[in-house]
Amino acid sequence: MEFCKEKMIHENSVKAALGALPDEGTLERLTDIFKALSDPGRMKILIALSSRELCVCDLSAVCAMSESAVSHQLRILRNLKMVRKRRDGKVAFYRLDDHHVETVIRQSMDHVQE
């Protein structure tokens, strides 16, 4: 393990790092998003929705999950404001909530494929 060879606190660096930290509420919401992204089923749903708007039946077929499981995961993703729903008659279509979600997914995929 690496330890400091000389015990010294660099106050300017510590102040700058503390200034970069978000408030507790923001930090909790941020970690909730990463927890959601850590589930392979939810990640499949998000990747599928990054290509186009899909209904629960479509997502079930694409992700090889039951419609009930897809609905449960969509509820979690909706609560985190990662996906949104649009009704067309009796059918609910889902899509990514905004471009930020797509950016996180795309950059994460780019990172693991390097």
| 94 bridge partner residues | 54, 85
Among 72, 71, 98, 73, CA closest to 84: 98
For the chain, the structural domain boundaries read 24-112
Per-residue pLDDT of 26-71, as tens digits, reads: 999 999 999 999 999 999 999 999 999 999 999 999 999 999 999 9
- Tell me the whole-structure pTM to 2 decimals: 0.86
Contact (CB, 8 A) for 83 and 37: no
24-112 domain in CATH 1.10.10.10? yes
- Other Cβ atoms less than 10 A from the Cβ of 101: the count is 22
